[in-house]
Structure 1
Amino acid sequence: MDRRQFLKWGGFVTVTAATGNLMGCSSSDSSSTSTIPGTDITAPATPAATGSGWKFPQSIASGDPRPDSILLWTRVVPASADDVLTASTDTNVSIRLIVSDADHSSKLGSNSAIDGNLVVDTTVPAYAMYDNTVRSKITNLAAGKVYFYQFIAGDVRSRVGRFKTAPAKDADVSQLKFAFMTCQDWSINHWGAFSHLVANEKDLDFFVHLGDYIYETVGEAFQKGAVEAAHGPLSLPQGAFKPNSNVRYADALVDYRYLYKKYRSDTRLQAVHERYAVIAIWDDHEFSDDAWRDTHTYDNGTFNATVGGDNTHQPQRRRNANRAWYEYMPADIWFSAGETYGVENIKIYRELQFGKLMHLIMTDERLYRADHMIPEAATNPATGQAIGAIGARYMAPETTLYGAEQQKIALTTRIGTSDPLLLVSMLGQSQRQWWMDTMKSSPATWKIWGNEVSLLRMGINGTDAIATLIALGSISTLATGIGNAAASTGHVPTAAALVAGTTAGVPQANAAAVAKALATAYAAGANSVQTLVAATASSGLPTSVLGLMAQTFLAAMQVAAGDSTAQATAGAQVIAFGYIKADIMANQAKSTFITNSGKAAALTPFFQKFLLNADQWDGYNAERKALMAHLKDNGIKNVVAITGDIHSFFAGTVNDDYQASNGGTPVMVDLVTAGISSDSFFTYLQEAVGALSADLATLVYYPLTIPVTGLGTIKLNVDLLDYSLGRAAPNAAALGEQIRVQLRGALAAAGLPEAQLDATVAAVLAGLTSSSSFGSLVGLAQQLASLNSNPWLKYVETDAQGYSVITLTPGNLSCQFRRVNKLVGTNAPANVVASVKTATVTRDVVDVKIS
């Protein structure tokens, strides 16, 4: 083999040092056999590929750019082989790899030859045992420089690739720009985001992939929606069936390899890899949904009082997933194919530095994590059945969740291990200490954390939510009652005051007398709550009740006298939110408005606080607090996480203790990107909330029917989850803008040509947002926003697909959330990006501004 090259057999990586301009000379032939260093195992012969009978079906890729090195990747097979199935087991060949520092930008995306200014010209082996993939590390490169590369098999050239090395670690860097993305399910929606990125983000330094690069299942319910015609159905070569299901999941090594090959067969994803180096970590679907270590959560596992809960362990499947990820991801990491290290035979957490400007710290939040705090197999006392995912991982009761965490910490203390967080950790002790040390010692201005699952607290106070929903539901009834009472009083505001009094428990006659006195006092010049209360104080009613009646009277009076319906509604709203909501919040299930609703049994379990997603850091609160304490205590500034997983856009501050009365002190920022194509978190939750509680569905969505000329009616479920979580209260225009993408997608699904979509959407929204019915929906969203559930959330968009782009300077970080339009028929939209929101973080300020 070439003297500049050696083979690291633990990970089949060739390493070649760039030597400057080689004038096109080729390295020596590598067809001879050799033994694996340190063993007596003979390496397969790799005769040089010759002729034209070759292809590169997954194109090429580069990864982990450092100041002096890059990891290059390809897969080469005979031209007669299937693109995604396993090639011949005896196809072991060597191919040529060339790297140039000349500008070959015009050749990107083509198979044109690159020549001249070659800094590398060598041969590399492609082994059938590694699915004909090639991983070659190039060292001795210049810092901060663009290079072009190409693989050559016989007479066949791969497409031309490009990468940029990182700046020198001590370099003063004025700007970096990179994209980050996640969650690209082949089986749902579209991959138009990749086309947009290639066409419009030409000045990226690299891109970060935060996991869910593949999805391990085929045929899940969440994968059965509309999908672009370019993505045909998947068929796992072997696979296994989920328990009690017809859904198949990747199990064998050949299954995981198939998925990477199939996903990477899409030319749009290929184009991204050809143009930019990737820095990647995994999340759960590279192995198994909501996984921890080597377990799956497809079923609830087992539970007993002594052992607790446990899910099904699948160590060989975990190792298969590890190996396939290593074979197909151009990551410069450690891996061992041997049995010695069990499922921890790969280490993907690592750090990369980009001059003095940025330190990128990538973590693994699956391989080392402990079980979820609440076991799915634990018994739900209300039903006698296993709790399952809803209750254990999603919509988990806060008190139960953190009680379980404290019990595990106490158990760890009794055991006496070196790690008090052993049973409640996401990172594991070694990685956690590495993270802390790396953060503390980093010389860079910005510490960017490549983080798989969100650090942001996402909670819902069930009591506040139920009180709001019951109050909202009472408005119509109250308004009708006010209208009926007006028939006898002859005056709607007086009737409104009367109904306010009776709602608060005042006898009818007494309420009528006070209401009449309010009208008299108002006519005499008392026009404020205070003066009206004073004028009716002799009635003997409590001041709080007189205040409610006065507020209700004034609200109705402020509406034009000729509009009795609007007057009654205005008064009803004051009663609903000024009394009914307050009474439920104070008395919870004991409130007469709950006991008289007929829904007491259904609602009682929800008078508590819930955490939306305990598979995220909310479910590993003790370790999150330890990490934030480390940053705070050591004065580590300008830490920003970039996050995926939850199929939504979020931005906000990560606080040291969200359980503190004021929500804690902001320590760092988390920026969460939506999935490239995976269905949104809102979509999942709207389908699940009915099973959880139909009475709580309004916290998540509101069904809206819109008549459209020529198309009939369009039905939408308006996303109210955003407001329940903490999105700012909207006006009509803002709420209309929020549903623009969904409306556009619905019109496209109804058959409207894309050329007509944007104009039709604008016209429909103009009419919709000016209607009185839409005004009621706006009021509903405003009331949910008033819950102020998570004040640290500065931006929420739970019904979205897209990707994000960060521009980093010494003074600030600017993150653009790019939301994409939905399918048009069976094609990705020509107009891909629907909207852009910008989150800005200023140096040394722990806050995020949205524009």
Structure 2
Amino acid sequence: MNRRAFLRNTGFWTASIAAGGLAACGSDSSTAPASPLAKATGKNWQFPQSIASGDPRPDGVMLWTRVTPTNVDAVASAPEAGDFSIRVLVTAVDNTAKLGTSDALAGQLVVDNTIPVFARYDHTVRNKLTGLQANTVYFYQFAAGDVRSRVGRFKTAPAKDADVAELKFAFISCQDWSVNHWAGFESLAQEDIDFVVHLGDYIYETVGEAFQTGAVEARHDALVLPDGSFKSGNSGAKYATTLADYRYLYKKYRTDPRLQALHERLPFIATWDDHEFSDDCWQDAETYDNGSYDATTGVGDNAHQSTRRRGANQAWFEFMPADVSYDGTTTSFKNVRIYRDLPFGKLAHFVVTDERLYRADHIVPEAAPNPATGAALGSVGSRYFVPADVRESIEAAKMRAVPSGGDTLAPVSIFGTTQRDWWKHTMGSSTATWKLWCNEVSLLRMGLDGTAAVATLLALQSVSTVAGSIAGAAASTSGNVAAAAALVAAATAGADQATAGAAAMAIATAVASSADPVAAAVAKGLSASQATLAAAAYRAAAAVSGATAQAGAGAQVIAFGYIKPDIIAKGAASGFVGSVAASLAPYFTRFLLNCDQWDGYNAERKHLMAHLKDNGIRNVVALTGDLHSFHAGTVNDDYDATGTGTPVMVDFVTAGISSDSWFKYFADATSGSLLSNLVFAPISVPVDGIGTLDLRFNLFDFTLQRTAPTLDELAEQVRLPVRRALGAKGVSEAALDATTSAVLSALKATPAFSTSLLGLAGQLASLNSNPWIRHMVSDAQGYAVVSLKPDGMRCSFRQLNPLVGNTAPSAPIASTMAFAVARDVAAVTRLS
């Protein structure tokens, strides 16, 4: 490639070679300065977004800063400042004591170069530094005239052929300025790690969205886009539309001193997800509305916004210290390539992907008509709560429509053809022990058997009615509630009243004489299945004391031993569904909860997993963001196969560091519907001297993954929501922990919590919806820390404490949960 083509395809950057004194301009020839730029002089300079580094390699790193006159607001552009040059300074001498200060670097400099700053790039600087020593800590800063930036630190990667005993890093995602707090950055900056992997949603393109109207720390003021477009009409939420809008968001986010301190101390390896452009986007298409739909072909299309996409691309390139290529001269919106790989000795190979710029439309178009209403599906039914059979049939149809010899995965792909081939080659040719996939959206199947879920809910609702029937039947069994439970069980299962009554008394007599109660009931005319149910109801009721408790215990057996199985077998036709059959009919199917992630692109996921399996590529672990939820589990080669397939790799998903949780989104979306019972249970907790705490208890985790909890585990699940609610009521941080523990103790003593809610959680857990998920906490904020060694990997999820009123907690970390992956074994083991 000649120099002109290289510069045109690289876009703007500068390069410095350690100890060589060379500074090179990497902009295209049409914008390169004809002569050296005048040096910045004097004191009228500032570095309002501080400094950053990224993509550490064995011989170098990418350095970043932004510099403007001091009389310019931190987030304003300053075209009047023109172009000028500043210095970049680097040393290997330990300057740890100077981190976070603007003191001059101490020690011999290995770099002291002059580099240009251009107004057309909003005075951002991206300086690619090479010629450094591998596996070495360096300190750096920039100087404009008499003003120095703060001191930063980075560590180069080990040499490619180096034996590495241990590698420590963190991975994070989803930092919404407008909700919750950013205290997690303070904690993360103190971790004993070498770098941070950022998996996207560094900014959120919207301002004033419904999910951004919750509590936020007072130190984060309201965002005001320079331009922006209203999402609906001429009021309410806006979204970033122009390059100026996206630049503003990066600049504003990067004014937070805690995020600045993190960038100063640790290099980033960054990719993007959707919000760097548009929520749930694909290529240059937004999904705020449903788009169009062609009934003949079954193909939909969202609104394409190429100019907006190009602005988002440029702003990300300008503000992220990533060693990627960008072409500002092309009219294509695919003008930046961010997928890349970074080796860390023989131990680790980071494979960074782009799962937005090349992805095909969502398999089920948002504009496709809902069969029940005829209206467009919208996001529910196309991206969320998608019937699995519908998604599978449409995916298959799209693949069949590809002409012979074409890429059949192209219309159903997240990667696109070129990136997919690159990924397969990179994974297959890597000689590192561990292949760490920096992956934006989860690979884990997250499904739900709607029939079983609805049957569980209806069975739960029937318990009180059945218990009432048992209490009423006790009069005909001489007050023997256990016998009444047997009678109602037999009648519920189809026996006539007289036969059921005779069988119930026979069961009571048999139990009293240590005979076989089932045989006794069959002798009185019950079928074997009726007799088995009746005997089980009798024993459950007889095992507890008190008429009410006995009726409830018997009712539980009938509800889950007969009513639930009947609904599962017959669906909406079951007599126990009753008058709600029509409204519930659409739910008697298998759902995929989130088809914006890899569940929506199942054919390509299976293709990638087959590549790993067939080629014996082991020790692949995905580091994932996006979901605002902690997950750990295995990615199987084919979740739809008999036995759900073979585990091929592991996926660790971190919660958002500040964004509202996945649980909250689903709780808001299902509130007021029957489905809400799968997501949350409303509980009110009176607290003396404080008031009533109105909470939504998280059932979502049990519906999707969790095992049946103990009472103490159930209480721990509500600890942070109680803490948040108490803080919102004005309880001081000093008193929060003690007050929260007292509330939980009182809550555990209430039957509604210790019996009803505990039973509900256990029944939802029994659905065993996604057994490959070994851990899930859907209502959380936090980040993940990894210790990687040749023989294994340890991943620790750090969950954050919530806001205290409108103040970030002084102790950010609430809890840590650790997991291990052993070398050559695609499995996750919980450590603590």
Using structure 2 for the length normalisation, give the TM-score: 0.97
In structure 2, the CA distance between the partners of 1:708 and 1:43, relative to structure 1 (3 Å rule), is: farther
In structure 2, the CA distance between the partners of 1:36 and 1:672, relative to structure 1 (3 Å rule), is: closer
Counterparts of 1:771 and 1:441, CA distance in 2: 59
Does residue 53 (structure 1) correspond to residue 34 (structure 2)? The answer is no
Counterparts of 1:113 and 1:770, CA distance in 2: 61
**1:585 alignment partner, one of 554, 557, 568:** 568
Q: Which residue of 1 aligns with 2:377?
A: 387
Does residue 546 (structure 1) correspond to residue 531 (structure 2)? The answer is yes
In structure 2, the CA distance between the partners of 1:9 and 1:572, relative to structure 1 (3 Å rule), is: closer
Cα displacement (A) at 1:488: 3.1
Counterparts of 2:35 and 2:784, CA distance in 1: 44
Does residue 325 (structure 1) correspond to residue 316 (structure 2)? The answer is yes
Counterparts of 1:221 and 1:77, CA distance in 2: 35
SS at match of 1:149: strand
Does residue 213 (structure 1) correspond to residue 209 (structure 2)? The answer is no
Q: Which residue of 1 aligns with 2:501?
A: 512
Q: Which residue of 2 aligns with 1:668?
A: 649
Cα displacement (A) at 1:45: 5.9
Cα displacement (A) at 1:11: 2.1
Q: What residue ranges of structure 1 are gaps of 5+ in the alignment? A: 1-5, 21-25
Cα displacement (A) at 1:88: 2.5
List per-residue Cα deviations over 1:674-717 (Å, max 9, x = no partner).
001110011010111136xx112110000011111111211110
List per-residue Cα deviations over 1:630-682 (Å, max 9, x = no partner).
00000111100000001000000000111112111100000000001110011
Counterparts of 1:556 and 1:375, CA distance in 2: 52
Counterparts of 2:324 and 2:284, CA distance in 1: 20
Counterparts of 2:617 and 2:10, CA distance in 1: 37
Sequence identity percentage: 58
SS at match of 2:645: coil
Aligned partners of 2:15 and 2:26 also within 8 Å: no
SS at match of 1:642: strand
Aligned partners of 2:567 and 2:576 also within 8 Å: yes
**2:114 alignment partner, one of 117, 123, 137:** 123
Q: How many residues align?
A: 822
Does residue 754 (structure 1) correspond to residue 716 (structure 2)? The answer is no
Cα displacement (A) at 1:537: 2.1
Aligned partners of 2:180 and 2:215 also within 8 Å: yes
Deviates more, 1:625-634 or 1:656-665: 656-665
Q: Which residue of 2 aligns with 1:637?
A: 618
**2:98 alignment partner, one of 91, 97, 107:** 107
Aligned partners of 1:374 and 1:392 also within 8 Å: yes
**1:366 alignment partner, one of 350, 356, 373:** 356
Q: Which residue of 1 aligns with 2:13?
A: 13
Q: Which residue of 1 aligns with 2:3?
A: none
Q: Which residue of 1 aligns with 2:481?
A: 492
Aligned partners of 1:7 and 1:13 also within 8 Å: no
**1:290 alignment partner, one of 254, 277, 280:** 280
Counterparts of 1:39 and 1:586, CA distance in 2: 71
- Write the letter of the residue equivalent to 2:788: L
Counterparts of 1:143 and 1:469, CA distance in 2: 59
Q: Which residue of 2 aligns with 1:575?
A: 558
- Write the letter of the residue equivalent to 2:460: L
Counterparts of 1:755 and 1:658, CA distance in 2: 48
Cα displacement (A) at 1:510: 1.3
**1:352 alignment partner, one of 336, 339, 342:** 342
Counterparts of 1:645 and 1:782, CA distance in 2: 28
Counterparts of 1:406 and 1:278, CA distance in 2: 39
In structure 2, the CA distance between the partners of 1:820 and 1:551, relative to structure 1 (3 Å rule), is: same
Using structure 1 for the length normalisation, give the TM-score: 0.95
SS at match of 2:401: helix
SS at match of 2:258: helix
SS at match of 2:799: strand
Counterparts of 1:9 and 1:620, CA distance in 2: 31
SS at match of 1:64: strand
List per-residue Cα deviations over 1:91-141 (Å, max 9, x = no partner).
211001100000000000111110322100001111000000001011011
Counterparts of 2:815 and 2:92, CA distance in 1: 37
- Write the letter of the residue equivalent to 1:453: V
Q: Which residue of 1 aligns with 2:760?
A: 780
SS at match of 2:803: coil
Does residue 313 (structure 1) correspond to residue 304 (structure 2)? The answer is yes
- Write the letter of the residue equivalent to 2:730: G
**1:452 alignment partner, one of 426, 431, 440:** 440
Cα displacement (A) at 1:241: 1.5
Q: Which residue of 2 aligns with 1:97?
A: 88
Cα displacement (A) at 1:847: 0.6
- Write the letter of the residue equivalent to 1:836: T
RMSD (Å), alpha carbons: 1.6
Does residue 711 (structure 1) correspond to residue 690 (structure 2)? The answer is yes
Q: Which residue of 1 aligns with 2:721?
A: 742
Counterparts of 1:503 and 1:847, CA distance in 2: 44
Q: Which residue of 2 aligns with 1:723?
A: 702
- Write the letter of the residue equivalent to 2:13: V
Aligned partners of 2:13 and 2:26 also within 8 Å: no
Deviates more, 1:111-120 or 1:47-56: 111-120
Q: Which residue of 2 aligns with 1:522?
A: 511
Q: Which residue of 2 aligns with 1:166?
A: 157
- Write the letter of the residue equivalent to 1:539: K
SS at match of 1:112: coil
Cα displacement (A) at 1:410: 0.5
Aligned partners of 1:226 and 1:826 also within 8 Å: yes
Cα displacement (A) at 1:523: 1.4
Cα displacement (A) at 1:35: 11
Q: What residue ranges of structure 2 are gaps of 5+ in the alignment? A: 1-5
List per-residue Cα deviations over 1:414-452 (Å, max 9, x = no partner).
x23531111000000110011001111111111000000
Counterparts of 1:346 and 1:465, CA distance in 2: 44
Aligned partners of 2:16 and 2:127 also within 8 Å: yes
Deviates more, 1:315-324 or 1:502-511: 502-511
Mapping of 1:40-439 within 5 angstroms?
Answer: 43=34, 46-199=37-190, 201=191, 203-244=192-233, 246-306=236-296, 308-339=299-330, 342-412=332-402, 415-416=403-404, 418-439=406-427
Aligned partners of 1:243 and 1:299 also within 8 Å: no
Counterparts of 2:81 and 2:470, CA distance in 1: 85
